[in-house]
């Protein structure tokens, strides 16, 4: 059993998880700002540019993790989901 555990890429997965968590926190925290920009109607081009930048960052980091392998990508995806859960919990508590 310990030989099977030694074969698992835990360090790359953990690094992917940390990167994904940071990415998820930033991505979903900035969603409120993008929504406010869209709803204000004052600067739709700015809101669109900010939205595209959010997605470009998300895609760029996930592609980078994918090039590192399956374990970092899965860890990163899990981190993004954890970041989403944290931001949603904080926004619900703020109401």
pLDDT of residue 8 exceeding 70, the answer is no
Q: What are 55-95's pLDDT values in tens digits?
A: 999 999 999 999 999 999 999 999 999 999 999 999 888 77
Number of domains in the chain: 1
- Residue 27 in domain: yes
- Residue 86 in domain: yes
DSSP annotation string for 34-95: HHHHHHH-S-HHHHHHHHHHHHHHHHHHHHHHHHH-HHHHHHHHHHHHHHHHHHHHHHHHH-
52 or 5: which carries more pLDDT confidence?
A: 52
Region 41-48 average pLDDT = 87
- Residue 6 in domain: no
Domain of 23 in residue numbering reads as: 11-94
- Residue 4 in domain: no
- Residue 81 in domain: yes
- Residue 2 in domain: no
pLDDT band of residue 10 (cuts 50, 70, 90) is confident
């Amino acid at each position: 059993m310990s030989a099977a555990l030694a074969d698992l890429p835990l360090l790359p997965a953990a690094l992917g998880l940390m990167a994904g968590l940071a990415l998820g926190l930033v991505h979903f925290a900035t969603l409120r700002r993008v929504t406010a920009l869209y709803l204000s109607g004052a600067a739709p081009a700015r809101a669109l540019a900010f939205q595209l930048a959010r997605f470009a960052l998300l895609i760029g980091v996930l592609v980078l993790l994918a090039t590192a392998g399956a374990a970092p990508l899965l860890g990163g995806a899990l981190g993004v989901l954890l970041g989403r859960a944290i931001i949603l919990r904080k926004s619900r508590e703020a109401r």
